[in-house]
Amino acid sequence: MTTHRRTARSGFGRDGMPLDAARSAFEWLVTGPHPVSLDGRMFSGLPSRPVPLDEVRSRLLRRGCSQKLRDEVWAHLVLRARTDGATWTVGCVGVALPALIATASTLSAKFADDPSDIHAAVLAGFVAELTVVDLRKPRIMLRLRWAAYRAGHAAVREALDAPVPSGHGFRSTLPPPPWGHPDFVLARAVAEGAITAAEAELIGATRLEGVALVDAAHERGLSYEAAKKARQRAELRLVAYLRDGEGTTADNGSDPDLADYVADSVVITDGAKRSGRATKVHSGVSPRRRIRGVQGCGRKAAPAHAQSELPQGTSDTTSGVSRCA
């Protein structure tokens, strides 16, 4: 039909639009061998036969259609909607669809947001007016259309008058801890001269990344004992740096909780935590020993040593602590 092509060209037949749903429902009513129809014999100007509602719409839209015929047909349609309910209500919407689409198009032409709410308001205003429009007065369809327009216009005004979201309440913030990385603490210690870059790499690999000290020594061309002693000396300086507060203040860019985590992860024994000096333990601890229980998380761990300034010949080997996930 001509009106169907006009609806499609209007751009308001998109999926999800309320008026698009109304058009689909109306097409179901007028499709098939028994379309919803008017008895043309009741109206002067219609064929003397059942006239499907889509054909009724086409005839009412013709330029030569009289206002008398339009009012008679619309009075009949509205009465059927009031007495018979849903089917004829959808029929009224379908016959009025070209006017409803034009109304919604006018109201949403300069509306930047989603026009679905405006279309829904236009449709709701039309349907609500079906129950109250005075059928004794002329130009029934014109008054129905104005009711739809008023409802749509109210929806537009409500949307435009709504508070505009302020950008002041939205800002970028740091994610909740732990958000940093231990490497940042080590990098800060290197920058402050507490340890060297090579020492930071050795501590990070063996204490924070789970690399065995034996493997780390081999990669660096060192003996196990040389790597162990180098790490012990560096750890003492790093822990002193972190525990003295130089590496845990917010002003220097480090996270205090993260600095504490790094300090704990470089394996400070109970004696070292209390006095800053390592305690002597049994020298038979193997660097390959499995540390069991919660402390070792049930896996093999690299040895962890903390060296104090002991006299030569004194054993400086301490028990190890692995990094637990």
Q: Inter-axis angle of helices 67-84 and 53-61, to 10 degrees?
A: 150
Q: Which pLDDT does position 251 carry in this prediction? A: 44
Is residue 316 within 8 A of residue 310, CB to CB? The reply is yes
pLDDT digits (tens, 9 = 90+) for 129-182: 999 999 999 999 999 999 999 999 999 888 888 776 555 555 666 555 544 567
d(CA 196, CA 193): 7
Q: Which pLDDT does position 95 carry in this prediction? A: 97
**How does the average pLDDT of the chain come out, rounded?**
75
d(CA 14, CA 123): 16
pLDDT at residue 29 greater than cutoff 90:
yes
- Residue 211: count of CB within 10 angstroms of its CB: 15
Mind giving me the DSSP string for 204-246? IIIIIS---HHHHHHHTT--HHHHHHHHHHHHHHHHHHHHTTT
pLDDT at residue 121 greater than cutoff 50:
yes
Please state the rounded mean pLDDT for residues 72-85: 95
Q: Which residue type occupies 196?
A: T
pLDDT digits (tens, 9 = 90+) for 285-303: 444 444 443 334 444 444 4
What is the Cα Rg of the chain in Å?
42
Q: How far is CA 196 from CA 187, 227, 238, 296, in A?
A: 9, 14, 10, 28
Q: Which pLDDT does position 85 carry in this prediction? A: 86
Nearest alpha-carbon partner for 304 in 287, 324, 292, 281 = 287
State both tokens at 29. Answer: 């009513």
Q: What are phi and psi of 205, to 5 degrees?
A: -70, -45
Q: Which pLDDT does position 198 carry in this prediction? A: 87
Please state the rounded mean pLDDT for residues 247-256: 49
Which residues make beta-bridge pairs with 44? Answer: 46
Q: Is 44 helix (H, G, I), strand (E, B) or coil?
A: strand
- Residue 312: count of CB within 10 angstroms of its CB: 4
Q: Which pLDDT does position 161 carry in this prediction? A: 80
pLDDT band at 88 (very low <50, low <70, confident <90, very high): very high
Q: Which pLDDT does position 238 carry in this prediction? A: 84
